[in-house]
Amino acid sequence: MSQALFDLNGRTALVTGSSRGLGRAIAEGLAKAGARVIINGIDPARVDATVAGMRGAGHAADGSAFDVTNEAGIVAAFAGFDADGIAIDILVNNAGIQVRKPLVEFSSVEWRRVIETNLTSAFVVGREAAKRMIARGRGKIINIGSLASELARPTVGPYTTAKGGIRNLTRSMAVEWAASGIQANAIGPGYMLTDMNEALVKNADFNTWLMSRIPSKRWGRPEELVGAAVFLASGASDYVNGQIIYVDGGMSAAM
């Protein structure tokens, strides 16, 4: 099979929340496949440091700091891309947060913050990207879901609700935009070693439960999402639409 199928040279990818964790690993993977990547996060200094690190590694990278829950900031960022002649060919909606507590203890303010950061952001950033992709007749959108797109665990109610929404937002994007040459798909990571899971990684009881559930018997590494991301960003997936690919060591396949 030709490597050209997965070649991202000449493509520009915006990855939200990419100054650390899974977003950063995905951004590096897309850059290694040839894409120019735009690093996003809330903190401009962290975004700049990530861009510098990526450039130091020989990758084409730029930064765009904005909060994915701030619609005016998102609209302004895309207006800036237009003004600079930057066309976003690939969008990865990765930014997200987790808040853990029993459902009866969540305030509606906390609920909305999780939904807006993990779900509404993907709609708003996706809408701004898609308007331009539709005009150009092509584009790739990759939403980051979770095992929580399918299944629930106690104490992560709003997150589970948002990630279930990501699964159906992905389908909605696909059915509305497929005829315009856009593929919208999702990746559902399993339990990955990132800062978001710091408390769980240190929790011996949780680890015992987790290792009893994951057929691969280990946590995932952020760079293990790169294969799925490059596939969904490249011509190799041009007839794949509205799907969610689980990268979870087999966890969602196990009873």
Ligand X SMILES: NC(=O)c1ccc[n+]([C@@H]2O[C@H](COP(=O)([O-])OP(=O)(O)OC[C@H]3O[C@@H](n4cnc5c(N)ncnc54)[C@H](O)[C@@H]3O)[C@@H](O)[C@H]2O)c1
Site for ligand X in 24-63 (CB under 6 A): 41-42
Which of 12/94 has CB closer to ligand X? Answer: 94
Q: Parallel, antiparallel, or unpaired for β 61-63 and 90-93?
A: unpaired
CB atoms within 10 A of CB 250: 13
21 binds ligand X (CB under 6 A): yes
Q: How many residues bind ligand X (CB under 6 A)?
A: 27
Which of 17/139 has CB closer to ligand X? Answer: 17
Active site residue 191: no
CB atoms within 10 A of CB 168: 14
Which of 201/236 has CB closer to ligand X? Answer: 201
Cα distance between residue 50 and residue 55, in whole Å: 9
Sole binder of ligand X in the list 64, 117, 185, 234 (CB under 6 A): 117
Three-state DSSP class for residue 15: strand
Which pair of structure tokens corresponds to residue 136? 């150009």
Q: How far is the CB of 246 from ligand X (least distance, A)?
A: 10
DSSP-derived letter for residue 252 is: G
Which of 96/157 has CB closer to ligand X? Answer: 96
97 binds ligand X (CB under 6 A): yes
Tell me the Cα Rg of the chain: 18
149 binds ligand X (CB under 6 A): no
CA 73 to the chain's CA centroid: 19
195 binds ligand X (CB under 6 A): yes
Sole binder of ligand X in the list 173, 192, 244, 245 (CB under 6 A): 192
Neighbouring residues of 150: CB distance < 8 A, sequence distance ≥ 6: 164, 167, 188, 252
Contacts with ligand X, residue ranges (CB under 6 A): 16-17, 19-23, 41-42, 67-69, 94-97, 117-118, 144, 146, 189, 191-192, 194-197
Annotated catalytic residues are 159
